[in-house]
Amino acid sequence: MSADRIAIIGNAGGGKSTLARAMAARRGLPLTEVDKLLWLPGWQLSPDDLYEARHAPLIAGESWLIEGMGRLETIRDRLLRATWVVSIDMPIWMHFWLAAERQIAWAKNELDHPPAGLDDMISTEDMFRTLWETEQEWMPTIRANIDEAESTGIEVTRIASVDELNAFAEMEGAS
């Protein structure tokens, strides 16, 4: 098993989970969807202490691929522990579009991997509100965290469009 520690991060609907599954399989890395640590059934937030008790040992490990956001206060530590950060940071309208496509597939029972592994679909209104708030309130800090990680020598790949995502996914065997 490789000693890689890969963090894939970005707003909802950007293709993080699909890319992460392919990359983890290709590299033989254990995969963690951080939303599974964050959310309990019914879209209830896990208590801070439970989330941290599960997140801290994960990032302390030698080999992992963690995708998603989780709690804002834990992202910096995760990125600084990573050996490679993949940032999916497309224009907000594209995240809305892709998330809407996912909602439609979920509503039709055609979604193979629902977010956080939950059965209950989040309301589209709540999802769009979360996308917008994440872009406005979290992404400036996350972008600064990514820049900081890169300044320490951590490899960073920035994906800013669907075309870039598709090209990267093809290179990673995720197409």
Instruction: For residue 127, give its domain range.
Output: 5-171
Given this model, what pLDDT does residue 87 score? 98
Given this model, what pLDDT does residue 113 score? 61
Query: Helices 72-81 and 48-60, interaxial angle, to 10°?
Result: 10
Given this model, what pLDDT does residue 170 score? 87
Given this model, what pLDDT does residue 2 score? 46
Number of structural domains (the chain) is: 1
Could you report the per-residue pLDDT of 15-72, keeping only the tens digit for each?
888 899 889 998 999 999 998 888 887 778 899 999 999 999 999 999 999 999 999 9
Ordered DSSP codes for the chain: ----EEEEEESTTSSHHHHHHHHHHHHT--EEETHHHHEETTTEEPPHHHHHHHHHHHHHSSSEEEES---HHHHHHHHHH-SEEEEE---HHHHHHHHHHHHHHHHTT--SS-GGG-SSPPPHHHHHHHHHHIIIIIHHHHHHHHHHHHHTT-EEEEE-SHHHHHHHHHHTT--
* pLDDT beyond 50 at 1: no
What CATH number does residue 11 fall under?
3.40.50.300
Span 126-143, average pLDDT:
92
* pLDDT beyond 60 at 175: no
**Rounded-to-integer distance, Cα 87 and Cα 159, Å:** 6
